[in-house]
Amino acid sequence: QVRLVESGGGLVQPGGSLRLSCAVSGINFKLYAMNWYRQAPGRQREWVADISTNHTRNYVDSVKDRFTISRDNVWNRVYLQMSSLKPEDTAIYYCKVFFRGREYWGQGTQVTVSS
């Protein structure tokens, strides 16, 4: 059974930092690319970042130079280090993996950036 569990969200002031974590089970984690997405209120879910099996990283333009995606193939986790947070980063953040022809998502973790 494939399972993804996000954690690390919370309330942070503008300019602050948070580190999100996604624990993955049920797959041979090191063989799969991992993704972070987010969904703000009233908006469609958008792709934020991905990391390949060889640690190649890609980011949406709005988070470049502020967010860093990483992975730990020992602990089967993917991380999203977020810094210089802005109110427009407020959203539910999800991790996702594409495995055997379908997408698997976690339940999401809420990030709120507000003073």
Calpha distance 79→77 (Å, rounded):
7
Tell me the per-residue pLDDT of 22-68, one tens digit each, with 9 for 90 and over: 999 999 999 999 999 999 999 999 999 999 999 999 999 999 999 99
The partner residues of 96 in beta bridges, in order of sequence, read 35, 105
In the prediction, which pLDDT does 113 show?
A: 98
Helices (H) and strands (E) in the chain, counts: 0, 11
Tell me the per-residue pLDDT of 61-97, one tens digit each, with 9 for 90 and over: 999 999 999 999 999 999 999 999 999 999 999 999 9
* DSSP assignment string, 44-75: --EEEEEE-TT--EEE-GGGTTTEEEEEETTT
* Tokens found for residue 70: 């990483």
Count CB neighbours of 12 within 10 A.
Answer: 18
Q: Identify the band that residue 21 occupies on the pLDDT scale cut at 50, 70 and 90.
A: very high
